[in-house]
Amino acid sequence: MEISTEPAVREYVRHIYTDKAVVSTKPTPEGNSAIDSLHAYAGVKWLLNKPISAFYGEQWLLIQKAEEEKQLEVTIGLPKDIIENSLTQEFESLYLSEGVSLTAQQWNEHRRQILQDALVSLVLPSMEKEARMIMAARAKLWLAAECGLKLWKKVSMAPYVPPKMVDNEDRSDSVVVPRVLACCWGPGYPATTFVMLDSAGGVLNVLSTGYLNIRAASPEQEQRKMNDQDRLLKFMRDYRPHVIVLGAANVQCRYLYRDIVEVCDFA
């Protein structure tokens, strides 16, 4: 066996693996019941022999996460005919003796067994591990680029430009600088807080509403919520904000948004 051929063999196997390896997925019993058509893993629930070169975007990260959560069973490898024809023949051409004697043939049988064991036990698992790392790295780079692009679109957005307004305070021949009412959700302690800002960003007033965003469970809580709604309505009418900004702290802000919209309808 010539040691000098080993790097070339490894590169040959890597080339074959990169070009021909495929991925298959199927759900575990738990995943089969959990992953429906609207689930995040629905698109990777059933894959059959998808080439690793065809993976794009974040798909591999979804597969990886689903596998970690025991939702999917994932197999990566070369088709059987590639192993038996391309790889096995290449190995045998490099490492088997060309002798025709009985001894040479017997040694070749031993070499074939060793090569098969090395291929199945060492080379292919090593290539699978390397393929997983490469696909994960590519998917993370793609995801980071997408996040960076979306973040750039946010931070490069021009300041809010209000529509032209004509009333007793805002003249049509002047530039309208919006007055902003900022809101920060609170669980109750601290309370949901509204801060009225002037056109220069200075604080004009602060309003705390401890019951505005609760789901009333008693007549007393319902009355306190209505009181907070009335206070917020008066606050808006007093300061007439052009823009209301709600900091999206968590999912509860969806319900807070609806409560604010409800008050705005009366302002």
Indicate the domain borders of the chain. 3-144, 180-264
Say whether pLDDT at 11 is over 50: yes
Query: Bridge partners of 243?
Result: 180
Strands 72-77 and 22-27: antiparallel
Residue 241: cis peptide before it, omega within 30 degrees of 0: no
- Number of CB atoms found within 10 A of residue 194's CB: 24
- Number of CB atoms found within 10 A of residue 13's CB: 20
Strands 22-27 and 180-184: unpaired
Least confident stretch, 29-33, 38-42, 158-162, 194-198 = 158-162
Output the CATH code of domain 3-144.
1.10.3500.10
Output the CATH code of domain 180-264.
3.30.420.140
Amino acid at 182: A
pLDDT digits (tens, 9 = 90+) for 211-240: 888 887 888 988 999 999 999 999 999 998
Q: Write phi, then psi, for 259 (nearest 5 degrees).
A: -65, -40
Amino acid at 82: I
More confident residue, 166 or 69: 69
